[in-house]
Amino acid sequence: MSSTRLLVLGVLNEGPRHGYEINQLVMAGALEQWTDVKPGSVYHALAKLEAEGLAETHAQERTGDRLRRVYAITPEGRHTLRDLLRKALSAPPHSTRSDFALALRWHALLDSGEARELVAASSRALEGRRAEIAAGREAKAGLSPLADALFENAEAHLAADAKLLEDLRRLLDR
């Protein structure tokens, strides 16, 4: 399932928008940290959704020399959005699949100490991510109980990952 497709249809369901507005929402919400949505993918998704009849040009606005297309969701787009919601909400919220786990299988192919340093770098990156999550939670305080539950879940996953990295560092030190 495409996260971008779900996002664009969801936003259009709230009302007609142009691509720049949707990109601004993606960047303001730092959605690339939470989902597979990249700001540049919005325009491609809008064109594809329109070609599939899930979105349509609602209006065109002139801003300087540019002509902006304002898109709206179609009835078929609403049907598809509900299907995407059903699929997304019926799947586990996090995946246990990871290239990290696969790479651990052959860590001994690296020079002595390099695997330990890479795990330490992963740990530092994880701590940076934990700080970002904490800042995001503070910035979005009071948003909703659902948002709070998502932040708590993300924090719990990061805490479990931090423990795993600490355990791995100890094992690699042997």
Q: Please give the chain's pLDDT, 174 residues, in tens.
A: 588 999 999 999 999 999 999 998 888 777 777 777 887 889 999 999 999 999 999 888 787 788 889 999 999 999 999 999 999 887 777 776 777 887 888 888 888 788 888 989 999 999 998 998 888 888 777 778 888 888 899 899 999 999 999 999 899 888
Identify the sign of the CA torsion 111, 112, 113, 118.
positive
Q: What are the Cα distances from residue 93, in Å, to 18, 32, 78, 101?
A: 29, 16, 23, 19
Residue that has been written with the tokens 């329109």 in this structure: 50
Rounded Cα distance, 52 and 172, in Å? 52
Q: Hey, what are 85's tokens? A: 């919601």
- Which of 140, 154, 129, 128 has the alpha carbon at shortest distance from 28? 140
What is the bridge-based pairing of β-strands 17-18 and 66-73? antiparallel
